[in-house]
Amino acid sequence: MRKRIKIIIPNTTSEFNESVYNLFNPLKASDTELDICNIKGEGALYLDQKYDEVWSELSLLKEAEQAEKDGFDGVIVYCALDPARMALREALQIPVVSIFETALHVTAMLGNHISLIAPPGSIASREEMFHQYHMEDQMTSVEFFNLGIENLAEDESSSYQIVKAAAQRALNKGADSLVLGCGAVMGIAKRLSEELGVPVVEPGPVALKYCEALIELGLHHSKVAFSLPRRHMP
Amino acid sequence: MRKRIKIIIPNTTSEFNESVYNLFNPLKASDTELDICNIKGEGALYLDQKYDEVWSELSLLKEAEQAEKDGFDGVIVYCALDPARMALREALQIPVVSIFETALHVTAMLGNHISLIAPPGSIASREEMFHQYHMEDQMTSVEFFNLGIENLAEDESSSYQIVKAAAQRALNKGADSLVLGCGAVMGIAKRLSEELGVPVVEPGPVALKYCEALIELGLHHSKVAFSLPRRHMP
Amino acid sequence: MRKRIKIIIPNTTSEFNESVYNLFNPLKASDTELDICNIKGEGALYLDQKYDEVWSELSLLKEAEQAEKDGFDGVIVYCALDPARMALREALQIPVVSIFETALHVTAMLGNHISLIAPPGSIASREEMFHQYHMEDQMTSVEFFNLGIENLAEDESSSYQIVKAAAQRALNKGADSLVLGCGAVMGIAKRLSEELGVPVVEPGPVALKYCEALIELGLHHSKVAFSLPRRHMP
Amino acid sequence: MRKRIKIIIPNTTSEFNESVYNLFNPLKASDTELDICNIKGEGALYLDQKYDEVWSELSLLKEAEQAEKDGFDGVIVYCALDPARMALREALQIPVVSIFETALHVTAMLGNHISLIAPPGSIASREEMFHQYHMEDQMTSVEFFNLGIENLAEDESSSYQIVKAAAQRALNKGADSLVLGCGAVMGIAKRLSEELGVPVVEPGPVALKYCEALIELGLHHSKVAFSLPRRHMP
Amino acid sequence: MRKRIKIIIPNTTSEFNESVYNLFNPLKASDTELDICNIKGEGALYLDQKYDEVWSELSLLKEAEQAEKDGFDGVIVYCALDPARMALREALQIPVVSIFETALHVTAMLGNHISLIAPPGSIASREEMFHQYHMEDQMTSVEFFNLGIENLAEDESSSYQIVKAAAQRALNKGADSLVLGCGAVMGIAKRLSEELGVPVVEPGPVALKYCEALIELGLHHSKVAFSLPRRHMP
Amino acid sequence: MRKRIKIIIPNTTSEFNESVYNLFNPLKASDTELDICNIKGEGALYLDQKYDEVWSELSLLKEAEQAEKDGFDGVIVYCALDPARMALREALQIPVVSIFETALHVTAMLGNHISLIAPPGSIASREEMFHQYHMEDQMTSVEFFNLGIENLAEDESSSYQIVKAAAQRALNKGADSLVLGCGAVMGIAKRLSEELGVPVVEPGPVALKYCEALIELGLHHSKVAFSLPRRHMP
């Protein structure tokens, strides 16, 4: 079954486009077609907190609405802050996959005490996400690693050790499973999991598999819960 | 103590500016100075649901940041959906008052079973607010009245009856206190309360008194919780 | 990537084996190999409540342990009561997918008010599952349809109407999304969803896609949470 | 609008009357009239825990009922244990403001992780208050400072340091906002807030502003929730 | 093992003393000695709500402290509002049994959906008790029967039917177990249970058995949680 | 009132039968008749985690059904993991007492912050029990002592110190009351309580008193909640 999926990176920079494509491409089903873009118009260069989300959400919303008009079967918002999640579900009828939400639900099926490992930002905005998804009872901690998104790629080996130290702090507090809270941290989940002995969930890949599953099974979000906008903007 | 308060209506229309001013003016302390505006640039004409919020939030954020630069002592966002609440608290250091949040906390001190009476919109976005403020245990119901914001002013007497019917449905479900969830429903709380025998909280006025109190007492939100944006946009 | 998945039906009857195989086969990835069996030894003919689970769980556990020894990459327990969920996770290191748990997490991403539509059984055992998965806040109701598992196949058209009537009761109580709580109710989700206008999640298919995803991404449950048995039985 | 407010200190000593008056007087609106008293008859000298509350509550209740008969527009109970809160709301129709309840709701709008800084007493009775107000999810800790109410005034500088040390312990545990849980700790909130970098809410002042607001807006607690006593005592 | 238990009825009337004694006497262990009294001094004639509790609590507290001095091994407070529960635990070291608390814990072990059947009073004060005992998730409803405590004994047959009608309303809402919330409703639990087909828990008897068990097993409440009053009143 | 109680130890070994009998015999009412057995057929030697439960539950269920047929008035399952709790309530109409459930409810009436002291096993299966009984809010921690059930009796003095060290860790985390989570730890609760200054609840004895009370008062679990199996196995 042909599945056309639009991946929207809600950053104004295109610097992640290629690496996200390279992350997703080997994981996609053979009959999945991926299209990737970042946002146009106003927006944040990188998204760390709610402030950045507000900058990017309208451009993201427009991009997603266009994707539905263009006949895509599903949309993945590639940012672990899940910007505009509810608005997108009101606006669209095709599945909209928020990557952190998906990752959190998967992690909750793998363990009971979840810590989020994330780049520096606002503690309130990160913890809010566990609350929003009714999983604060399962949250052990939010661990910020001391390295901005903009510096992650500079020295991969050193970056890995900084992320791992944050993960180790989480385990010391009782976490039994970890979720990575940054779309720019790619490809380290498996190594981290093996070295630490707990599951480590990277949001992008699980979101891709979940989006494919929704399309194949003909599932989409409830329009009774997320009703269409009463007044669509032009 | 002089208190300069900026009231921002996150709609692209200026049609509410005068009536909100007229609502607030007789209630303000004598040493309070009010300045009122609606948003410029992109935004929603009326705000009913998350989709509309995304349209208005960036313009609202810019307006609020300007208010802080202009030396205002506090900002009130006059919309019962509390758009951009967390982003505004990250961006600003002066108090930012979200009117529905304030109203909900006040209502929770007056009764135990709260219903929200609101114009039609998305059920998910309305219930989410109780959850966001950790008050879903105290929520009895969300009652939509069958009258769009845009038609509220047309026939005041008929509008009142439609709102009252929704309020009555809430009481039948066990609500013992009501909160109005629409900034465009003004000046009916007292009558409704007297006719129904339960407290009815209108968000605007309690938000004004709360904002004045914060300024007088030198209180503002925690910057440990809502840290400043790592990268301010221009 | 080759994925060998064992599907265990924890009933002593083999009457569902073929229909479950026919359900899964067209949905599986081309490189997935499915093996299906029901339990041997002591067990329940049909599983409606906790009593039946206790009858079937040990035989199920033995079957699952054998599957791991036989080199399978994952196990799906095909029963919407999720028998022996925690014991299986203690015993095994390969992913163990409980179909109702998976379905509930997926449904929680599609809507906010979930009802379970199930054949008659014990109300306590059904509601317990929402609680066990920390989703009782999102539970609207459990609706039993008045038709035993053993009679479901007798008259498909009449069975469908009986199930649909239960689903309609759920919507009347405010449900905005439905999950089917019986592995014997197969292939009606799409029709029900279309006729009722809300998502209807059938556990089997989402469990298959989830199991494939776990295997492909190298994820499995936390052995820190679910530690290996201190004393393995022979 | 003239607002006559009765402040009742539920202690048998009058030693706090003047300092509370001096705290409230500069903060009150120009048209607010304050009347302050402590309790007569049986009661506790100081209130640290539930035991003390039981000693003072009946005398407090009688004083409050008298205040309503005397035509006051509102009552503030000046004790951070909120004695007789529900009984007072049953007995009276004018607003009854419990100072800790108000402070807790305000603090919850300023931050997400609240610690209470209090003089020694019963841990159960202090934590119970967070639970009673449905805010235990937002409670980080109760920090007792090692100094009885009776000794607070002896050496203000040393007392301040002892309170501050308790506040610092709270921050180390993750608190992002503090509430003072003792009516005898007056006038240090601002200094503490500046030195620690988080909001510090002193209950008295916020209670005064809240009481004034209720009176001005014509709001009072729900008599559906808090029904009048079936048998008023003489 | 000799067990001396003091039963305190926190009413100023002695009219229940004999009937409570007659209720407890056949149920007590052979080596239990019962002493029963009502309160002296100020207090409520009957206790329906928080207002009445405040009237009776200090006299109750004094009586309980005297009982401990007199060498009793345990105290039972015979009133289903559980007056002064926390204060009594602070003041005393011997077990203090609050009858409704005990009944609620027992009921929670018998069923999952509990309704309280009670004489008219304040809805807030009744629901608060489920919340106080962390059992609001298990509360189905509070059903008031339309008959004051003072009239219960007038016509037993008619009273029974009125109570039963309230119980039936609870079952219609989904309750699967009932707890009686009035110490004056005695001796009807068994009949009600048989006629309705669900467990009906009467607080007095379970409290007696629980108090005996605590004494026999040498258990009493935690003085770390409920610390002794810092200043005992004379 | 004659009370015939069947105590079932769900282990395949009979090594605990005598010590449990010796524990219960001096505590039972004079008119209570105790009968004790361990399970026959398949089962676990010792029960530490969910895996072991699955091994023992069916044999336990059969034993309990036989007890009801044999005319016993109540069943006590002597294992602190409460195996087959819900299934037993579905299957039987006479009271079925799960010892840990009872102990947890009693502990919750004695303190507010409960820690479980248990032999090594699966953290998930132990914490799950607090969740299952809706008491996770009152859980401070699960403390495993480093000594298997099989070695407990070897050196009683050394075992006691190992258990006490675990209990002390719990107090350091804020526990104010403890519950022992192992039926093989007998007769140390009183000493532990005296040395640590907090209540320590041993499940067996409170379960015995509770079972006697249920029988005397004619109470049993709700068959509306736990409906009889639709199909009883032979």
Segment F102-159, tens digit of pLDDT: 999 999 999 999 999 999 988 999 999 999 999 999 999 999 998 877 777 777 888 8
Which pLDDT does position A62 carry in this prediction?
A: 97
Which stretches in chain C have pLDDT values below 50?
Answer: none
Could you tell me if residue E218 is left (phi over 0), alpha (psi between -120 and 50 degrees) or otherwise beta? Answer: left
Least confident of B216-220, D109-113, D184-188, F138-142: D184-188
Is residue F176 assigned to a domain? Answer: yes
Is residue D225 assigned to a domain? Answer: no
Query: Are C209 and C174 in a shared domain?
Result: no
* Helix locations, chain B, DSSP H: 17-24, 50-69, 85-91, 99-110, 123-132, 156-172, 189-196, 203-217
Count the Cβ atoms, other than its own, within 10 Å of residue E162: 16
Assigned token pair, F47: 């029960």
User: pLDDT digits over B67-108, tens only?
Assistant: 999 999 999 999 999 999 999 999 999 999 999 999 999 999
Is residue F145 assigned to a domain? Answer: yes
Whether the predicted pLDDT of F92 surpasses 70: yes
Can you name the residues that pair with E5 across neighbouring β-strands?
E34, E74
Whether the predicted pLDDT of F233 surpasses 80: no
Which pLDDT does position C152 carry in this prediction?
A: 74
Question: How far is D70 from chain B, CA to nearest CA, in Å?
Answer: 23
- Residue A37: is it exposed, middle or buried by C-beta count within 10 angstroms (0-12/13-18/19+)? middle
Query: Are D40 and D77 in a shared domain?
Result: yes
Assigned token pair, F128: 């799950």
Least confident of C96-105, D151-160, E116-125: D151-160
Which pLDDT does position E182 carry in this prediction?
A: 86
Is residue F233 assigned to a domain? Answer: no
Query: Are F190 and F213 in a shared domain?
Result: no
* Three-point CA angle B154, B155, B156, nearest 5°: 110
- Residue E197 CA to residue D87 CA, distance in Å, equals 37
Identify the three-state secondary structure at position B74: strand
Query: Are F112 and F198 in a shared domain?
Result: yes
Question: How far is F130 from chain A, CA to nearest CA, in Å?
Answer: 13
Question: How far is B142 from chain C, CA to nearest CA, in Å?
Answer: 12
User: pLDDT digits over E28-51, tens only?
Assistant: 999 999 999 999 999 999 999 999
User: pLDDT digits over C145-183, tens only?
Assistant: 988 777 777 778 888 999 999 999 999 999 999 999 987
Say if F and B touch: at least 3 Cβ pairs within 8 Å.
Answer: no
Whether the predicted pLDDT of E142 surpasses 80: yes
Is residue F230 assigned to a domain? Answer: no
Arithmetic mean of pLDDT over chain E: 95
Which pLDDT does position E234 carry in this prediction?
A: 64
Q: How confident is the model at residue F230 (pLDDT cuts 50, 70, 90)?
A: confident
Which pLDDT does position F130 carry in this prediction?
A: 97
Give the CA distances from residue E182 to residues B84, E27, E113, E143, E198, in Å, rounded to whole numbers and listed in that order. 49, 19, 19, 12, 19
Contact B111 D222 (CB under 8 A): yes
Contact B231 A125 (CB under 8 A): no
User: pLDDT digits over D121-144, tens only?
Assistant: 889 999 999 999 999 999 999 999
Which pLDDT does position D187 carry in this prediction?
A: 85
Question: What is the percentage of chain E residues whose pLDDT exceeds 70?
Answer: 99
Which pLDDT does position F123 carry in this prediction?
A: 92
Q: Give every CB contact of residue D37 below 8 A, 6+ residues apart in sequence.
A: D6, D7, D8, D9, D17, D63
Residues of F in contact with A176 (CB under 8 A): 123
Domain count, chain F: 2
- Residue E33 CA to residue A189 CA, distance in Å, equals 67
From the list C42, C124, C224, the residue facing F58 with the nearest CB is C42
Question: How far is A108 from chain C, CA to nearest CA, in Å?
Answer: 9
Can you name the residues that pair with F78 across neighbouring β-strands?
none
Write down which chains contact chain A via at least 3 CB pairs under 8 A.
Answer: B, C, D, F
Is residue C30 assigned to a domain? Answer: yes
Say if E and A touch: at least 3 Cβ pairs within 8 Å.
Answer: no
Question: How far is A49 from chain B, CA to nearest CA, in Å?
Answer: 7
Question: How far is B109 from chain D, CA to nearest CA, in Å?
Answer: 7
Identify the three-state secondary structure at position D38: strand
For testing contact with chain D, the best of A50, A123, A140 (most D CBs within 10 A): A123
Contact B127 C112 (CB under 8 A): yes
**For residue A126, what is the nearest residue in chain D, using CA coordinates?**
D112
From the list A27, A109, A216, the residue facing C27 with the nearest CB is A216
Residue range A147-152: average pLDDT? 78
From the list C112, C137, C205, the residue facing A225 with the nearest CB is C112
Contact B227 A121 (CB under 8 A): yes
**For residue C127, what is the nearest residue in chain E, using CA coordinates?**
E112
From the list C42, C87, C132, the residue facing F54 with the nearest CB is C87
Residue range E124-129: average pLDDT? 94
Residue type, F154: E
Question: How far is F122 from chain D, CA to nearest CA, in Å?
Answer: 27
Residue where the block lists tokens 């040990």? C58
Contact A176 F127 (CB under 8 A): no
Residues of F in contact with E210 (CB under 8 A): 106, 213
Is residue D65 assigned to a domain? Answer: yes
Query: Are D122 and D80 in a shared domain?
Result: no
**For residue C85, what is the nearest residue in chain F, using CA coordinates?**
F50
Is residue A198 assigned to a domain? Answer: yes
Contact E124 B137 (CB under 8 A): no
Query: Are D108 and D197 in a shared domain?
Result: yes
Write down which chains contact chain F via at least 3 CB pairs under 8 A.
Answer: A, C, D, E
Whether the predicted pLDDT of D158 surpasses 90: no
Query: Are D62 and D126 in a shared domain?
Result: no
Residues of D in contact with A136 (CB under 8 A): 137
Q: Which domain CATH number covers D89?
A: 3.40.50.12500
Residue range F183-187: average pLDDT? 81
Chain E: which residues have CB within 8 Å of chain B?
Answer: 123-124, 127, 136
Residue where the block lists tokens 């503490």? D192
Question: How far is B111 from chain C, CA to nearest CA, in Å?
Answer: 22
Query: Are C90 and C110 in a shared domain?
Result: no
Query: Are B89 and B158 in a shared domain?
Result: no
Which pLDDT does position A123 carry in this prediction?
A: 92
Residues of B in contact with C176 (CB under 8 A): 123
- Residue E219 CA to residue E209 CA, distance in Å, equals 14
Which pLDDT does position C230 carry in this prediction?
A: 85
**For residue B131, what is the nearest residue in chain C, using CA coordinates?**
C137
Which pLDDT does position F234 carry in this prediction?
A: 65
Write down which chains contact chain E via at least 3 CB pairs under 8 A.
Answer: B, C, D, F
User: pLDDT digits over E162-200, tens only?
Assistant: 999 999 999 999 999 999 998 778 889 999 999 999 999
**Residues, chain F, total?**
234
Query: Are F197 and F209 in a shared domain?
Result: no
Residues of D in contact with E87 (CB under 8 A): 49-51, 53-54
* Three-point CA angle A133, C124, F88, nearest 5°: 130
Which pLDDT does position D114 carry in this prediction?
A: 98
Which pLDDT does position D86 carry in this prediction?
A: 98
Residue range E147-171: average pLDDT? 87
Query: Are F92 and F136 in a shared domain?
Result: no
Count the Cβ atoms, other than its own, within 10 Å of residue E156: 11
Whether the predicted pLDDT of A234 surpasses 80: no
Residues of the domain holding B158: 100-203
Radius of gyration of chain D (CA): 17
Alpha-carbon torsion (F51, F56, F62, F68), positive or negative: negative
Query: Are A18 and A91 in a shared domain?
Result: yes
Which stretches in chain B have pLDDT values below 50?
Answer: none
The pTM of the full predicted model, rounded to 2 decimals, is 0.96
